[in-house]
Amino acid sequence: MSPRDRIRDALSRAQGEGAAIVAYLTAGYPDPERFFAAFEAVARVSDAVEIGVPFSDPMADGVTIQRSSERAIEHGVSLRWIFDELAARHLELAPPVLLMSYLNPLLVFGYEALAERSVECGISGYIVPDLPYEESGPLQEALSERGLALVQMVTPVTPAARLQALCAASEGFVYAVTRTGITGRAVSLPAEATEYLAEVKAASKLPVCAGFGVRERAQVEAIERHADGVVVGTALVEVLERGEDAAEFVRSLRPSR
Amino acid sequence: MHEDANEHEALLEALIAGSLPDERGRFGPFGGQYVPETLMTAVNRLSEGVRDVLPSESFQQRLEAELKSWVGRPTALTAAPRLGERWNADVWFKREDLAHTGAHKINNGIGQALLAQALGAKRVVAETGAGQHGVAAAAACARLGLPCVVYMGEVDVERQAPNVDRMHRLGATVVSVTSGDRTLRAAIDEAIRDWVSDPEGTYYLIGSAIGPHPYPLLVRELQAVIGREARVQMLEAGELPDAVFACVGGGSNAIGIFHAFLADRDIALFGIEAGGCGSALGQHSATIAAGRPGVLHGNYSMLLYDDDGQIQETHSVSAGLDYPGVGPEHSLLKLVGRVDYETASDAEALAALDECCEAEGILPALESAHALAGARRWAAKNPGRRILIGMSGRGDKDMPILARFPRSETGVDVAA
């Protein structure tokens, strides 16, 4: 099975199951050792894990992820570091792992080398917040050769025709931003959000995961009726900031059954 | 090699003919739209505005009226005979320092504010480095009755205090940015974050010929008035120049003055970047001279970054040049060889500033002083030539910084 199909299958859920959870962690945060401990623990309780590649100018992220990114860079964390550590540690990971990165570090690494190294290190796909569909051709092509996913994001301000095109182009899953804006601001689920998620679901053959702002079980339960999964990012980084148990936090989001 | 040359020539001809950027916002390999999906609808709507509203007769009439009666255009072309005698050259200044608010930034500020209003924006956000663009945006928004928020790096808030006060007086909210490098780059990151959180009601009034398409095109169109006027004025004053000099940070005043001269192939064009205090990463802002192509703030262009792709901190005594990227059109002009990009150090710029003060009674902005320094160096190697220098702004705003440096020994004769 190709890596991108692994992502799709991991996030597709059977009737009656709770929402899948995609957990986001900034690479090397709060420090390299605690990161890997949190990463392994979180992987055991999540359906997919997103590792954030720290970048000097994270223009689509809120203050929490900016802070974690700055700290990680201070610790010497880079894309190369992530690959080398993953390769050296031989982790037995059940869920698929994606990298979330701004474009410049990927561009500098080189797309061919990136795809090759990703496969060697067990990475299944990419989320690139400053790479819209129109500009994504060259990276998508390089990843596609190795069966890796390039996940497309859609938003509440994406026009209908564009939504169709993005859902058709996405691989692994469709990342539905549930509130216009940068990551990490609190959200409840108003009617317009449920209508929007219904539109995304109707346009997509892949699982739809809603992201940005999820921090408690009630929100996960509210979203689970409208999407296949949720992305949990800022709230999880905050848990690490406070020195608390990341895996325990992810478990607390799982709907009670 | 030969094929490259042909390709470059074709790109330059396309640029001169007005067919670049293309529909995707590309100046050859450079430019594009590298923004979060949340902003795609906003940049597409802005592209339509640039295509349909900007060239319309009613908009152009409105813009021209504001440029004439409020900005004070056309700005003067001034001969600089005492400087010329010292340099053994025929020196002319295009005086954007005489424009309302003291720099070329106002051409873009009022143009984009009018466009924001025409597109129905409810509020305007802007970033600023030296504070000149912030002041221009604040003034233009006050003129049109639009709420304005200006993001400014904490470091720049300190070194450009008079401009912070001006923005307040002009009714703008100034937000001091404490993240990232706390200069222009962080201010742009923050302005983009604001825009991402309200892409429908907010208009992002970017200050230089950077950012995602259509901004590099829009800003160039609004600044091209500098070169159009200067070309006519130079002809009226006798003949066209042999060389044109402009400072380059993001590159808006340079693209503005160069554009009208691109087709005059025998006129040499020079963009002068900030050489800062050394050649190591972090000591300068010489993006074109020392950078590599990469993606920042929505476009693919020359950029200063390390081997991991992390954007590098820059340095210049001039806040307006302290930026690790540069507009994509400049990257193309470098690639095709139409413009030569050189650097001037902090020390050279400071010396040129003092020389200009004493020889011509004009206090240039530290940014513009880089163009003067580049021109002076060229004149020494090319005696007797006619030189046009883009005086992009006045130096009043730089007084707090200049207070830290002793006046240079210029050797300019002063009547006893």
> Last residue of a domain, which of B213, B246, B274?
B213
- Are the C-beta atoms of residues B355 and B410 closer than 8 Å to each other? yes
Residue B416: predicted pLDDT: 47
pLDDT band for position B158 (cuts 50, 70, 90)? confident
* One domain for residues B260 and B364: yes
Q: How many CB atoms lie within 10 A of CB A111?
A: 16
> Last residue of a domain, which of B190, B213, B236?
B213
B36 closest CB neighbour out of A56, A78, A129: A129
Q: Is B395 inside any structural domain?
A: yes
* One domain for residues B241 and B203: no
Distance CA(B25)–CA(B105), nearest Å, equals 23
Q: Is B111 inside any structural domain?
A: yes
Distance CA(A148)–CA(A85), nearest Å, equals 20
Q: Residue B51 maps to which CATH number?
A: 3.40.50.1100
- Are the C-beta atoms of residues B81 and B68 closer than 8 Å to each other? no
Q: Is B411 inside any structural domain?
A: no
B309 closest CB neighbour out of A60, A105, A155: A105
Q: What angle do CA A101, A102, A105 make, to 5 degrees?
A: 85
> Last residue of a domain, which of B186, B213, B240?
B213
Residue A138: predicted pLDDT: 98
Q: Is B13 inside any structural domain?
A: no
Distance CA(A211)–CA(A201), nearest Å, equals 14
CB < 8 Å to B36, chain A:
59-60, 129-130, 132, 153
Residue A188: predicted pLDDT: 59
What phi and psi values does residue A178 have, to the nearest 5 degrees? -90, -10
Q: Is B407 inside any structural domain?
A: no
Q: Is B15 inside any structural domain?
A: no
* One domain for residues B274 and B153: no
- Are the C-beta atoms of residues B343 and B272 closer than 8 Å to each other? yes
Is B127 among the residues known to form the active site?
yes
3-state secondary structure A198-234: HHHHHHCCCCEEEECCCCCHHHHHHHHCCCCEEEECH
Q: What is Dmax (Cα atoms) for chain A?
A: 47
Are A130 and B179 within 8 A, CB to CB? no
pLDDT band for position B3 (cuts 50, 70, 90)? confident
Residue A223: predicted pLDDT: 83
3-state secondary structure of B341: strand
- The helix or strand, by DSSP H or E, that contains position B247, with its residue range, turns out to be strand B243-247
Mean pLDDT by 10 residues, chain A (257 residues): 96 80 97 97 97 95 92 97 96 93 98 98 98 97 98 95 98 88 58 89 96 82 88 95 97 77
CB < 8 Å to B189, chain A:
57-59
Q: How many CB atoms lie within 10 A of CB B406?
A: 8
Q: What is the pLDDT of residues B242-295, one digit of tens each?
A: 999 999 999 999 999 999 999 999 999 999 999 999 988 889 999 999 999 999
Nearest to A201 by CA among A183, A180, A224: A224
* One domain for residues B196 and B279: no
Q: Is B298 inside any structural domain?
A: yes
Distance CA(A201)–CA(A226), nearest Å, equals 8
> Domains, chain A, ranges and CATH?
3-253 (3.20.20.70)
The parent domain of residue B266 ranges over 72-103+220-402
Is B392 among the residues known to form the active site?
yes
Nearest to B185 by CA among B268, B90, B305: B305
- Are the C-beta atoms of residues B198 and B187 closer than 8 Å to each other? no
* One domain for residues B241 and B180: no
Q: Is B7 inside any structural domain?
A: no
- Are the C-beta atoms of residues A126 and A143 closer than 8 Å to each other? yes
- The pTM of the full predicted model, rounded to 2 decimals, is 0.96
Instruction: Using a CB–CB cutoff of 8 Å, tell me whether B180 touches chain A.
Output: yes
* One domain for residues B201 and B278: no
* One domain for residues B196 and B183: yes
**Half-sphere CA count of A188, side-chain side, radius 13 A:** 2
**Half-sphere CA count of A60, side-chain side, radius 13 A:** 29
| ipTM of the complex in this document | 0.94
* One domain for residues B232 and B362: yes
Are B179 and A129 within 8 A, CB to CB? no
* One domain for residues B89 and B44: no
* One domain for residues B111 and B173: yes
- Are the C-beta atoms of residues A62 and A183 closer than 8 Å to each other? yes
Domain count, chain B: 2
* One domain for residues B191 and B262: no
| DSSP annotation of B249 | S
Annotated catalytic residue: which of B47, B66, B96, B127? Answer: B127
Q: What are the distances in angstroms from CA B75 to CA A181, B92, B103, B401?
A: 41, 13, 11, 27
* One domain for residues B285 and B315: yes
